[in-house]
Structure 1
Amino acid sequence: MPSCFTLDSAISSSSASDGGRRTAQGQGWPAGVGGFLSSFFSAGAARADGGKPPPDWDAHGLAASALPVPLSRLDGKKRYKVSELAFLDRRTRAAAAAEDPLFGVYTRAQLRDELDALAASGMFDHVTLQTKPKPDGTLGLTVSYAETEWPAVEHFKCINVGGLMAPPDDDEHDMTARERMEHLRRQEREYQQLVRRAKPCIMPEKLQRELQGMVKKQRKVSSGLLKRMAGRIERWYHDEGFQCAQVVSYHGNLDAGEVVEWGHHQGGFVDKLGNVVDGNTSIPLIDRELPHQLRPGHIYNNGAGKQALKNIDSLGLFSTIEVQPRPDETNQGGVIVAIKLKDHDRKSAQVITDWSIVPGSQGRPTLASIQPGGTVSFEHRNICGLKRSLIGSVTSSNLLNPEDDLSFKLEYAHPYLDGIDNRSRNRTFKISCFNSRKLSPIFVAGPNMYEAPPIWVDRIGFKANITESFTKQSKFTYGLVVEEITTRDENNNICTHGSRQLPSGALSMIGPPTTLSGTGVDRMAFLQANITRDNTKFINGATIGDRCIFQMDQGLGIGSKNPFFNRHQLTVTKFINLNKQEKGPRKPPPAVLALHGRYAGCVGDLPSYDAFALGGPHSVRGYGMGELGASRNLLEVATELSVPITVKNRHTQVYAFAEHGTDLGSSKDVKGNPTEFFRRVGHGSSYGVGVELGAVRAICRFACSTVAKSYAIFGVYIGS
């Protein structure tokens, strides 16, 4: 007996691909081992080739007795029902019951075949089978055995035999002694070649040392030791997501073998009835989304399959995605992964209408106008099967006469700018035409003033940019923006200056200029760049990690009064997992401390509509948009602590936050000083507490500044 031993295993997607398993050297579990007896000994053996007979059975016809009855006394024509199965180890004299005895109906020949299979396996010595007649006409079976033991093992190593597994052996019963000897020699040569061609083992060193410790502790190798080692190996693979892994054979050397590669992947599309058809999407486009571990020559892992599902779903091109692994019939131990996809509709159009409801003369709700507002949109996605898209939308508060406040957007996206086959770079080109209208937060009154007349900012132009993705979340965008900006009052007239209401009720029209040119209309062109570094992740619904965003706009001196400027801002946010909560199903979210900082500044020409507004839901919570001021530079800091709690077996969270923002004294550097004109302070703080129940968030906020007294606001919100 050599002083080296081998335990080989392989990944396959089915444990019943053949009637039994045999080793390259004829040792281990032979093809006959696989019935109910071997189920107790084997680490996952399949059923015997003959299978179980029909459920009809015959009474044994013997006198019920505590004394065992030899197998030879059973009637060969009867079908006996087994109702008790016990195993007796002659060395330890310990009895054990089968975990899954597989009680059933068997003939005497089938019971003898089971006994012969165990005896011929080489794993047990002196195997005997005794029957015990029961009063109800069934049989009890007792299997006596002694585990085969081999000399002490001096050497142990791990190899990967996946995808190299030898086909099942030919039947040796019809061979002569000479042919059988040649067959065994050929098997030995094939096995040695398999070991030389084996790939590196992926089991960690810690596990390999644990297996070595099991061997050294027992010294002699027994079938029980092999079973424990096989169970430990399979448990590690299953815990790591290799659900197809199983030990399939024991060899005469103890190199702990391991697991397979998968054969290849197949992609296909299905129609509404599930029939395979030609799809609209390029196969190379799908192939580039597959994880590296899900490619030919690598070990199949459930985690890689789930990642492939997630990556393909992120394309947004398919309504149905199925990842189906199956055994490769042409490559023993290999796996074929079939990916079935169903395309979304490539063209779509949608009309959304809405009516505004306001209080009537007697407080009853009534329509503000019978003329509906709404949005008309269309989309043509996956052009040429390469994920290119053309999207357009038109929005107006009066669809019957949309000239007053018409806004539109038309965007064309061209991904994989460097080609689908170039996987080193992932760049997307986008060009869009837009016409948008937003309420300016610069021309709003302070907390101690009457409400100021609103100023609307209309922008019309086009933007072309290229986005390069480094990871799924981190990217770099750069491009050109050309636009015309028009400021209008609430009557849709061009407005050149801001205004405020005097105590007398009259309007002061000598406010800050609304545009750089002073005419109410500006035209400009500038370069824009944005880089995002984001390594955040979700742990049980909570965001953990870091996010950093830097944006810069560089004026080109083209347009009204040749604007030349550099506008920039940096945002840094960190989410800290305070209690080191691990990710897992049904686990609560971690306690999270969020730290946030934002700096923004501008050098050069700065029109009022591009000044930085201080205050609002994304600036300093507790204040309205721009309520604290309008500045050339600003600094914001914020922190929030959220703690999970359980209410009626449901996870929720309570949180507290504090925020502060300041204009760094730069409000006076904005043309016309909107902060001073509208009597705003230029800095402020807020703090508060809240509770979140699903999508409902209740917040009690406190806001304070040097001009306005502290005040509290309580609100209930849907969403974050």
Structure 2
Amino acid sequence: MPAPGPSAKPAAADGTFTCGELEAQGLPVGEGIPTQADLFAGLHCQPGFVCSRKELAQDIKALYASGLFERVNARVVPLKKNKFKVVFDFAEKFYPPMRNFEVEGARVLPRKVLADLKKKLAALPNETPFTMRTMALIKTSIEGWYQSRGYGLCYISHFSGMGTGSITAHVIEGRANKINVVWMNDEGQPEKTPGKVDAKFILKHCPVERGRLYNLADGRKTLQNVFALDLFDNVQILPRQNERNPGQVEVDVMVKEKPMQTADVEAEWGLAADEKNRPTLVSLVPGGTITYENRNLGGRAATVAASINTKSFLAPSDDISYRLMYQKPFIWGLSDENRTKLQATVFNARKLCGVFTPGPDGEEVPPVWVDRAGARVQLTQQFTRGSRGSLGLVAQEVGTRDETGAPCARGGRVSPMGAVVADGPPTTLGAAGRDRLAYAQAALVRDTTYLRDGATLGARDVLTVDQGLGIGTGFPFFNRATAACTRFLGLTRPWPRARLGPASLVLHGRAGAALGDLPAYDAFLLGGPYSVRGYNVGELAACRRFAEAAAELRLPVLGRTLYAFAEAGSDLGSSKEVRGNPSAYFRRAGRGSSLGGGVKLGALRVEGVRDNNAGRWHVLLHYGERF
């Protein structure tokens, strides 16, 4: 029986006192046995709060009602500054020895787990009383199986038959019974009126299924999938067990919508050094970017986005790039298991071409810019969370220009007298420095990577193919294919106490080949931060076939990731097959290797890299992942 109440006189005449500390004495310790924190979590008396004699008596009765203890007593001990420590004295309860053991409610628990548990119980000494330690052994085996598989709402609710020795463990298996979409306002409170995004569309991205055991991993995937739609500022997953039937779980997907339409203007002023090396404005007229986005066109989660970038708002025709994109998910309906998505894009962009850049000797080379304007239509199917395939058509006009914006039909270099000599390889298929072409694109991605304590593990394979259709300048018919294979291997177990992830090894291979009338500006580039580190983009080769290999060892140290790597690449002798042989013209090696190390500081990578061709070391800064 519980003790009648606290054994020390409280501080106030009305029987109240300020609780400063809770302590348990006589509580057994071991795996699966409730800890002091577990037992005290639901008590009225908590450190820092005022507690009454009545509340303390209720806490004693609640602890005794758990059936784990023969006696529960409490003592109120004075502390400094008018605070009191509540000491609970526990006496473990001993039931008759167990004669028989059964489990009820465990529909998915394998028979082998139950058989192994019964063997452990049978191995206990004869006439061993049924105590908290026996309960802990049972809970560790049964609940441990559920917990290790992510079934966080499956547990032993209580034991029966303890007075007779015929013990039954009653298991609650929490199954998803209902999945709701709950709309939230700015304060995070539920809204009565639904939002603009169709609830069926949201639920289609929820792997939680009605009738299945609720899995914490499914809850995390739901959170990731719904947030990745980029339609919501806040997403929360709240599983709730039914009070009358704990085996039924209601899952609330709580969302707060973003503004469906947004517009933004960013202004930029360029600076340049004057004759006295002082920074001055290039122009009083700013440039910048204008963007517009509608994330829920027609109420069906279709997205329209547009952006325009220019260096001068008053003279945008001199240097302007734009992008207009329309995206429609589930174009075959919400019943489509592959979630087929349509994306159409109209674009205009300018980029420095790495094919016509200097080789390792660093000689001065006039830059060649590639302008692309066109349209792309693409269908994408999502096979699993990280695996997808896409098929599309691209039609574009490509022009090559020099620094002044004039058409540039050939690459060149600067003579010793300072004059530009345009005697290099042709930049386009056409003679005027402008091409028109159409081709098909296909891609397959198999991605099984996952994070373990901050370290990326798993595998990723990527295959991309561009197929010319014989439409355009010179009727180009070509094939350009690239395959990449990356493995992230865990070498050690995580160190939870040090909050460090596992050491890992990254193995990466990449190869490509091109056939037919491939334009020079689309040749493969060897060298760069995402090819062979330690070299500039395209410094090693511009080629039609290549092979790359890389290995990187990652070690977590003091909350940072240190890594060492080695990389190598070769053009496989194919540089001479590119029109005009840019590699020979710019004196590129055609192959190279590097080694080095670095540290990751958030998204920043600080690297020391040795260019093995020249034997020089470089310190480089990069953002994002290499693989």
TM-score computed with the length of structure 1 as normaliser: 0.71
2:356 pairs, out of 443, 449, 468, with 443
Q: Deviations over 1:340-375 (max 9, x none)?
A: 221111000111121222222212222233222211
Change (3 A) 1:699 1:269: same
1:712 pairs, out of 584, 607, 617, with 617
SS in 2 for 1:544: strand
2:96 aligns with 149
Deviation of 1:710 (Å): 2.5
Q: Indicate yes or no: 2:64 matched with 1:159.
A: no
Change (3 A) 1:329 1:640: closer
Question: Does the 8 Å CA contact 1:158/1:201 hold for their aligned counterparts?
Answer: no
1:520 aligns with 433
Q: How does 1:416-427 map to 2 (within 5 A)?
A: 416-422=330-336, 424-427=337-340
Change (3 A) 1:37 1:388: farther
Of residues 266-275 and 526-535 in structure 1, the stretch that sits farther from structure 2 once superposed is 266-275
Q: Indicate yes or no: 2:116 matched with 1:209.
A: yes
Any unmatched runs of 5+ in structure 1? Answer: 1-34, 40-53, 59-82, 88-96, 133-139, 161-198
Distance in structure 1 (CA, Å) of the matches to 2:449 and 2:140: 35
1:589 pairs, out of 477, 489, 501, with 501
Change (3 A) 1:302 1:470: closer
SS in 1 for 2:315: coil
Deviation of 1:454 (Å): 1.0
Q: Indicate yes or no: 2:304 matched with 1:387.
A: no
Question: Does the 8 Å CA contact 1:261/1:296 hold for their aligned counterparts?
Answer: no
Change (3 A) 1:150 1:356: same
Change (3 A) 1:394 1:213: same
Distance in structure 2 (CA, Å) of the matches to 1:644 and 1:565: 45
Q: Deviations over 1:266-299 (max 9, x none)?
A: 22212235233211121112222223xx433333
Deviation of 1:624 (Å): 1.4
Q: Deviations over 1:401-431 (max 9, x none)?
A: 1101211111111111221133x32211111
Distance in structure 2 (CA, Å) of the matches to 1:617 and 1:644: 22
Change (3 A) 1:455 1:234: same
2:379 aligns with 466
Deviation of 1:216 (Å): 5.7
Q: How does 1:499-538 map to 2 (within 5 A)?
A: 499-538=412-451
Distance in structure 2 (CA, Å) of the matches to 1:510 and 1:462: 33
Distance in structure 1 (CA, Å) of the matches to 2:262 and 2:44: 57
Change (3 A) 1:657 1:670: same
Change (3 A) 1:317 1:150: same
Deviation of 1:447 (Å): 2.7
Change (3 A) 1:207 1:383: farther
Change (3 A) 1:211 1:493: same
RMSD: 4.0
Q: Indicate yes or no: 2:562 matched with 1:654.
A: yes
SS in 1 for 2:359: coil
Q: Indicate yes or no: 2:534 matched with 1:618.
A: no
TM-score computed with the length of structure 2 as normaliser: 0.81
Deviation of 1:506 (Å): 2.8
Any unmatched runs of 5+ in structure 2? Answer: 6-11, 17-21, 27-35, 46-51, 76-86
Q: How does 1:119-518 map to 2 (within 5 A)?
A: 147=94, 149=96, 152-153=99-100, 156-160=101-105, 200-202=107-109, 205-206=112-113, 208-215=115-122, 217=124, 224=131, 227-228=135-136, 231-232=139-140, 236=144, 240=150, 242=152, 245-251=155-161, 254-262=167-175, 263-273=177-187, 274=189, 275-291=191-207, 294-329=208-243, 331=245, 333-422=247-336, 424-448=337-361, 450-518=363-431
One-letter amino acid of the structure 1 residue matched with residue 306 of structure 2: G
Change (3 A) 1:590 1:681: same
One-letter amino acid of the structure 1 residue matched with residue 326 of structure 2: Y
SS in 1 for 2:124: helix
Q: How does 1:95-134 map to 2 (within 5 A)?
A: 105=53
Change (3 A) 1:537 1:306: closer
Change (3 A) 1:322 1:376: same
Q: Deviations over 1:365-404 (max 9, x none)?
A: 2223322221111110023443210111111122221101
One-letter amino acid of the structure 1 residue matched with residue 248 of structure 2: G
Deviation of 1:336 (Å): 2.4
Deviation of 1:718 (Å): 5.9
Higher Cα Rg: structure 1 or 2?
Answer: 1
Question: Does the 8 Å CA contact 1:158/1:255 hold for their aligned counterparts?
Answer: yes
Q: Indicate yes or no: 2:597 matched with 1:689.
A: yes
Deviation of 1:449 (Å): 5.3
Deviation of 1:201 (Å): 3.7
Distance in structure 2 (CA, Å) of the matches to 1:359 and 1:697: 30
One-letter amino acid of the structure 1 residue matched with residue 482 of structure 2: Q
Distance in structure 2 (CA, Å) of the matches to 1:609 and 1:227: 71
Distance in structure 2 (CA, Å) of the matches to 1:546 and 1:141: 53
1:51 aligns with none
Deviation of 1:644 (Å): 2.1
1:676 pairs, out of 561, 578, 584, with 584
